[in-house]
A = this chain, B = another copy of it.
Amino acid sequence: MPTLDEVARLAGVSRATASRAINGGSRVSAKAADAVAEAVRSLGYTPNPAARSLVTRRTDSVAMVIPEADERVFADPFFARTLHVVTQALAQRDLQVVLLIAQPGQEMQRTLRYLRGGHVDGAIVVSHHRNDALADHLAGIGLPASFIGRPLAGAEKVFYTDPDNVAGAREVTNILIERGCRRVGTITGPADMSAGIDRAAGWRAALDAAGLATDALVEGDFTEDGGEAACEILLRDHPDIDGLMVASDLMAAGALRALGRAGRRVPDDIAVVGYDDLGIAERTTPPLTTVKNPIGDMAREAVRLLLSQLDGTTTHPLRVVFAPELVRRTSA
């Protein structure tokens, strides 16, 4: 492996000049810059990242932390989209993404050790739960971090972006109410995630405002099978429901299966709305009326928030909340 020294020697300049030429090139004559570039090419030189980060105290890489079981990570399009956008946005600054998938427990300990160890310059956290306490941990470590989705614990200490889940759920539930549903159930997300709690709160707010009952609630887990199972429980305990607000499209797809098996026609017997609009909602039968979860925008914004920390521009925790947008299809 060629070193900077060899490049400098071949180019006929000092190591300092070669280094300057390679990084940005300010305060370097055109002649020297050319000579260095030529030497780099002919030697096939690549800077040693360890040596570089030893002195710069940067690693030029950022962790994307997903505290979930890998089955779920790979089954939910949410993560694919988010990872894609984050990777793209960071690539523009030549930052490499290191994906850390770790469910609570021993793996999480490894992950925290990794984050504390200085392997990365910062972290983007997504799909966090109350118990993982990642906001507290990261704030404790002092690692620049940016959360996608409001953390339930320690939110005041960290930067985050969040969709206005309460408003979104309220509005989409109102669609059900306006079309005449009088017995509206919900399948919520996990109660240890802000998206789960907030969407349930929005559903409740809409029903309260309309003077309707809010007892037909079953907790789901943001998986398709979980949605199906929750729907069965709902049908058993509340056979009279004529409207259903499901906290994610993936769960709604499962719920539609259960409704189909139970012989309920959608939307005639029961109107259904979902949440997310990440592609699945278009492909279910019938296609889902849902709320757009602007994860592309959120991911981009989360990257921006992280970069502002890395650049030292912003020091005080910022939050950015995105307004919901309804998408009407035929399920309600």
Contact = CB atoms under 8 A, between A and B. Distances in A.
Given A49-B118, A50-B59, A114-B96, A80 B84 contact: no
B74 A119 contact: no
Nearest to A52: B50
Contacts of A101: 83, 87
A51 interface: yes
Interface residues of A, number: 35
A53 interface: yes
A71 interface: yes
Contacts of A70: 80, 83-84
A49 B117 contact: yes
Interface in A35-80: 46-54, 59, 70-71, 73-75, 77, 79-80
A50 B50 contact: yes
Nearest to A80: B74
Contacts of A114: 96
Contact of A74 (B1, B47, B74): B74
B74 A118 contact: no
A90 to B, nearest CB: 11
A96 B118 CA distance: 14
Among A74, A83, A110, A117, max chain B CB count under 10 A is at: A74
Interface in A1-23: 1
Contact of A79 (B74, B96, B118): B74
Given A47-B117, A54-B54, A70-B84, 8 more contacts: A70-B83, A71-B80, A74-B77, A83-B101, A87-B101, A91-B107, A96-B98, A98-B98
A210 B324 CA distance: 61
A52 B50 CA distance: 8
A157 interface: no
A321 interface: no
Contacts of A49: 50, 117-119
22 contacts: A1-B118, A46-B117, A48-B54, A49-B117, A49-B118, A49-B119, A50-B59, A50-B118, A51-B54, A54-B54, A70-B80, A70-B83, A70-B84, A71-B80, A73-B80, A74-B77, A74-B79, A74-B80, A83-B101, A87-B101, A91-B110, A96-B119
Contacts of A99: 98-99
A98 B120 CA distance: 12
Interface string A92-115: 000010110100000100100110
A116 interface: yes
Interface string A200-232: 000000000000000000000000000000000
Contact of A46 (B47, B48, B77, B118): B118
A101 B74 CA distance: 13
A91 to B, nearest CB: 7
A79 B73 CA distance: 11
Contacts of A46: 113, 116-118
A80 B80 CA distance: 12
